[in-house]
Amino acid sequence: MAQVRAYTRNAVDLGASLLTGGHGYDSPGNFFAPTILDHVTEDTDVARSEIFGPIAAIQRFSTEDEAVTRANATEFGLAGYVFTENLDRALNVADRLETGIVGINQGVPSNAGAPFGGIKQSGLGSEGSAEGLKEYENIRFYDVARRATA
């Protein structure tokens, strides 16, 4: 929870607007209020990190290419999200995102039959689905000649 609080504080210190949340509660457990940050800039920790906490960091962009470039500028690549009414546009953007998972018009892009895994510093390989089973295979290669060669 301290890390999520630090991400929020850093973003606000660097010019982001805190629209809601940004605090924990004085109660048992580790609950951090759902947080929305607007006008988040690329130099903030929240824009460059893989956040495992309830923070929505809103960054403004002018073109689709700018949005993809900024999304791919991080060293992480677990999941990306595209929200639009134009499915062709969504698929075009999704194809260019450097992530292992892409949610199109949904915030929880996962199901039991789908592979789950990231790229870059978010992991190698996948788990779940037929693709995930390949991670547990032991591959053997045989190079056979009919006769012994010198």
- Are 54 and 15 in the same domain? yes
From first to last of its 150 residues, what are the pLDDT tens digits of the chain?
A: 899 999 999 999 999 999 999 999 888 888 999 999 999 999 999 999 998 999 999 999 999 999 999 999 999 989 999 999 999 999 999 999 999 999 999 988 888 788 888 889 888 778 778 777 777 788 888 888 888 876
Q: Residue 68 domain-assigned?
A: no
Burial class of residue 139 in the structure, from the number of CB atoms within 10 Å of its CB (0-12 exposed, 13-18 middle, 19+ buried)? exposed
- 45 and 8 in one domain? yes
Nearest to 56 by CA among 87, 91, 29, 21: 21
Residue 12: which domain range?
1-60
Question: Do residues 99 and 140 share a domain?
Answer: yes
The answer to whether residue 100 sits within a structural domain is yes
The Cα angle at residue 70 between residues 62 and 95, in degrees rounded to 5:
95
Domain annotation covers residue 23: yes
Residues 22-32: tens digit of each pLDDT = 999 888 888 99
